[in-house]
Each structure stands twice: as structure tokens, then as C-alpha cells.
């Protein structure tokens, strides 16, 4: 049976929020972006799970969170220093948003899986930069 806040209910959701807050405190800008990618991947996975079990409320919450994170990542791009890479990232983020919207609209896990794979590749590359 699918539980809306994981296996520990609302307490688990609160613990996760505290965990994220703790990781953010004192993190370098590079680490903050890595945390955003981690949270984006969790949100996309949660959205896919919600689609699978037919939980439209959780699907919407997860989609909203994922889209907000993508928007945050996009707004942090530096086109002067990032040049071509920043322009490429805008394209990738646009595709990620398109896939997430399509997944929710069609109630189909396939586009959310595509989005997750796309973000996972970027996250892996970002973490390799360290």
C-alpha cells in the first residue's frame, strides 16, 4: 500500500525537511546545487510513484516541487561565465519541465522516468566536478 509520506507518515516528512535544512546550512554554492539535484530526483521519483498508484494529490505536490526546483536551478544560471554550457542547461531544464508536465497531464510514468534520467546524468556530471 502506498503511504503519502513514506513509511513513517508525516513524521518522516518532517524529518526529511530537517535533514535537508541541516545539509544546506554552511554548504558551499557547489554543494547547494548538488542538494537541489538530489531533491529534484527525489521529487521526480515520488511523482512517478504517485502516478503508479493513482495518487493525484501526491503527484501534483511532487510535480510542483520538482518544477520549483528546476525553476530555481534555471534562475541561478550565469550566462556571462557559463556561456554555451548555461545555454545548454536552459534547454535541458526546459525539456525536464516539459516532461514533468506531460507526465502529470497524461498520468504516465514514462515521461517522468525520462526526466529523472536526464536530471540524473546532470547530477552525476555536477558531482564529478567537485
Instruction: From 78, 65, 74, 75, select the one nearest 122 (Cα to Cα).
Output: 74
Query: What is the CATH architecture assignment of 30-129?
Result: Up-down Bundle (1.20)
More confident call, 24 vs 52: 52
The string of pLDDT tens digits covering residues 101-124 is 999 999 999 999 999 999 999 999
More confident call, 12 vs 104: 104
Instruction: From 110, 106, 112, 27, select the one nearest 70 (Cα to Cα).
Output: 112
The string of pLDDT tens digits covering residues 36-46 is 999 999 999 99
CA atoms lying within 13 Å on the CB side of residue 68: 8
Strand, helix or coil at 54?
Answer: coil
The pTM assigned to this predicted structure is: 0.81
Q: How confident is the model at residue 52 (pLDDT cuts 50, 70, 90)?
A: very high
Task: Using CA atoms of 6, 10, 11, 13 in order, give the dihedral in degrees to the nearest 10.
Answer: 60
The CA-atom distances, in angstroms, between 51 and each of 15, 45, 46, 90, 127 are 24, 10, 9, 26, 29
In angstroms, the CA 104 to CA 27 distance is 33
Write down the residue that cell numbers 517522468 correspond to.
112
The string of pLDDT tens digits covering residues 65-110 is 999 999 999 999 999 998 999 999 999 999 999 999 999 999 999 9
Judged by average pLDDT, the poorest of 20-24, 50-54, 79-83, 126-130 is 20-24
pLDDT at residue 80, as a whole number = 92
Q: What angle do CA 87, 36, 111 make, to 5 degrees?
A: 70
Amino acid at each position: 500500500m502506498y503511504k503519502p509520506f513514506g513509511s513513517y507518515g508525516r513524521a518522516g516528512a518532517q524529518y526529511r525537511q530537517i535533514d535537508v535544512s541541516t545539509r544546506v546550512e554552511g554548504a558551499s554554492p557547489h554543494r547547494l546545487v548538488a542538494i537541489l539535484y538530489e531533491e529534484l530526483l527525489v521529487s521526480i521519483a515520488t511523482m512517478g510513484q504517485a502516478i503508479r498508484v493513482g495518487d493525484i494529490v501526491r503527484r501534483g505536490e511532487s510535480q510542483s516541487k520538482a518544477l520549483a526546483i528546476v525553476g530555481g536551478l534555471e534562475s541561478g544560471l550565469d550566462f556571462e561565465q557559463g556561456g554555451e554550457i548555461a545555454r545548454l542547461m536552459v534547454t535541458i531544464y526546459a525539456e525536464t519541465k516539459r516532461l514533468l508536465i506531460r507526465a502529470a497531464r497524461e498520468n504516465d510514468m514514462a515521461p517522468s522516468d525520462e526526466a529523472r534520467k536526464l536530471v540524473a546524468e546532470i547530477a552525476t556530471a555536477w558531482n564529478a566536478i567537485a
